[in-house]
């Protein structure tokens, strides 16, 4: 509230003092601080010039829609308080625009080129001309900066809710539906921050260049919302006066959007036009994807008990260890068809092949449990993952309806740098299976956590 009150008060004081000086001097007040000379006109007065000025001025009228978007945030009676607030905003906006326009003419202040040397905003020049370059000037400019920063909050409040609404209709990724730790739609905020940073970098931080982007987006939204209200009242079958008001608003804002697009096309409006087309294409593609996924995974029948069978369990094993013991124990708890794969890269038998009967088969046979089958995969070229992947895919093709469950034992270290001391074949195996697998192949992690010493 404080920055807003300071901003409004300082500008109204500037306008009031300026108008007083103008009246006292017969309409020709003297600037307290020297003003840059008005540049020579480079274009004759024309309808095209009027359209360009109109397109630039229309952007100053935006922002009042924030009240309609946040009606529910007002105290009861919400409608009454929202109307009062909107009326105050419109009166202040009209007073500020009229006062600035009158004083700029009286003090002979003209906008400077944002790309040229010595660029200064109109508000800065007007404040210097009326009040000088003292503490009041810095207070006014600081309030302008703070209000601009606060105005960005509108986008950060509404954009996440907008992306959520679109994501609910499957036109945007469902990640925008997730609430963060602070109960906000965090991903909408993250994306907005990234896009804002990219735009500021591309346009060099000059906000004047961003006006066409903002104006087209805003007035297209106004046009669509007004047209939507026309259809709403039409479905109601009554309220012709309201249909007329909303229809008139749709026509007015639609014309404004076209004028801004044409007048500012070369100055950057083409970017918005291109982005709108790309966004429509992307959103329709996202919608098609979700429609296809839902169609493929939806099930309109109950579970089939005959299809509930024990899976074929495949377990890659390097050597007999605590990790191997944990994996085999888990495998025995879910199936009786267990195949342990060992890749042999030399002509000599590995220790696990020689000790399999003693360490695994004999104890399980004595306990009356099924004995896993040890499959030796020969790999003369020292490939380890390729033979395992081929075996898993062949096992899936040879089985009629059984699921293939691949257990992936892996060592979990306590410090990130310890990962550099161990091979990451388990991670690579999971990635390859996810890429080359199918619906009947299931991958389960069997982690072994090292104790911290």
Burial call 166-203: b when 16+ CB within 10 Å, e when fewer:
bbeebbbeeebeeeeeeeebbbbbebbeeeeeeeeeeb
The yes-or-no verdict on residue 57 having pLDDT over 80 is no
Per-residue model confidence (pLDDT) at position 43: 63
pTM score, two decimals? 0.70
Per-residue model confidence (pLDDT) at position 157: 80
The yes-or-no verdict on residue 398 having pLDDT over 80 is yes
Q: Which CATH architecture has domain 305-449?
A: 3-Layer(aba) Sandwich (3.40)
Is residue 169 very low, low, confident or very high in pLDDT (cuts 50, 70, 90)?
Answer: very high
- Give the start-to-end residue ranges of the domains of the chain: 2-149, 305-449
State how far the Cα of 30 lies from the Cα of 108, in Å rounded to an integer: 10
Instruction: Determine the average pLDDT of the residues in 205-229.
Output: 81
| 3-state SS assignment for residue 175 | helix
Instruction: Determine the average pLDDT of the residues in 107-118.
Output: 79
Instruction: Determine the average pLDDT of the residues in 418-442.
Output: 88
CA 139 centroid distance within chain: 35
The conformation of residue 452, written as its DSSP 8-state character, comes to P
The conformation of residue 359, written as its DSSP 8-state character, comes to I
Per-residue model confidence (pLDDT) at position 389: 93
Per-residue model confidence (pLDDT) at position 42: 61
State how far the Cα of 283 lies from the Cα of 173, in Å rounded to an integer: 9
Is residue 121 very low, low, confident or very high in pLDDT (cuts 50, 70, 90)?
Answer: confident
Is residue 126 very low, low, confident or very high in pLDDT (cuts 50, 70, 90)?
Answer: very high
State how far the Cα of 443 lies from the Cα of 430, in Å rounded to an integer: 7
């Amino acid at each position: 509230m404080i920055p807003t009150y300071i901003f409004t008060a300082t500008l109204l004081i500037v306008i009031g003092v300026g108008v007083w000086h103008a009246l006292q001097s017969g309409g020709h007040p003297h600037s307290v601080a020297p003003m840059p000379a008005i540049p020579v006109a480079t274009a004759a007065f024309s309808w095209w010039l009027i359209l360009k000025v109109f397109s630039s001025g229309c952007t100053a009228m935006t922002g009042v829609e924030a009240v309609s978007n946040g009606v529910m945030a007002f105290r009861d009676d919400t409608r009454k308080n929202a109307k009062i607030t909107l009326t105050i905003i419109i009166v202040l906006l009209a007073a500020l625009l009229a006062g600035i326009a009158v004083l700029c003419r009286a003090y002979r202040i003209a906008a400077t080129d944002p790309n040229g040397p010595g660029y200064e905003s109109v508000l800065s020049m007007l404040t210097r001309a009326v009040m000088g370059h003292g503490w009041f000037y810095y207070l006014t400019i600081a309030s302008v900066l703070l209000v601009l920063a606060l105005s960005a909050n509108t986008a950060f409040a509404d954009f996440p809710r907008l992306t959520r609404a679109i994501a609910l209709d499957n036109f945007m990724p469902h990640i925008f539906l997730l609430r963060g730790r602070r109960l906000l739609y965090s991903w909408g905020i993250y994306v907005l921050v990234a896009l804002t940073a990219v735009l500021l970098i591309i346009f060099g931080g000059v906000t004047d260049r961003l006006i066409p982007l903002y104006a087209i987006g805003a007035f297209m939204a106004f046009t669509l919302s007004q047209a939507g209200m026309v259809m709403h009242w039409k479905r109601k079958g009554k309220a012709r006066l309201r249909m007329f008001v909303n229809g008139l608003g749709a026509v007015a804002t639609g014309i404004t959007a076209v004028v801004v697009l044409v007048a500012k096309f070369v100055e950057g409006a083409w970017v918005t036009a291109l982005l709108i087309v790309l966004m429509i294409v992307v959103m329709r593609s996202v919608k098609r994807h979700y429609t296809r996924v839902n169609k493929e995974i939806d099930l309109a029948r109950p579970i089939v008990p005959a299809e509930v069978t024990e899976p074929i369990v495949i377990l890659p094993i390097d050597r007999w260890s605590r990790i191997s013991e944990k994996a085999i124990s888990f495998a025995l708890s879910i199936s009786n068809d267990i195949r342990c794969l060992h890749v042999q890269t030399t002509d000599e038998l590995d220790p696990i092949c020689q000790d399999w009967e003693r360490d695994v088969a004999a104890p399980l046979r004595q306990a009356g449990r099924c004995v896993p089958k040890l499959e030796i995969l020969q790999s003369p070229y020292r490939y380890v993952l390729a033979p395992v992947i081929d075996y898993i895919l062949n096992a899936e093709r040879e089985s009629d309806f059984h699921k293939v469950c691949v257990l992936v034992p892996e060592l979990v270290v306590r410090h990130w740098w310890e990962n550099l001391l161990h091979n990451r074949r388990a991670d690579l195996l999971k990635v390859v299976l996810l890429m080359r697998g199918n619906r009947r192949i299931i991958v389960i992690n069997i982690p072994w956590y090292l104790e911290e010493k």
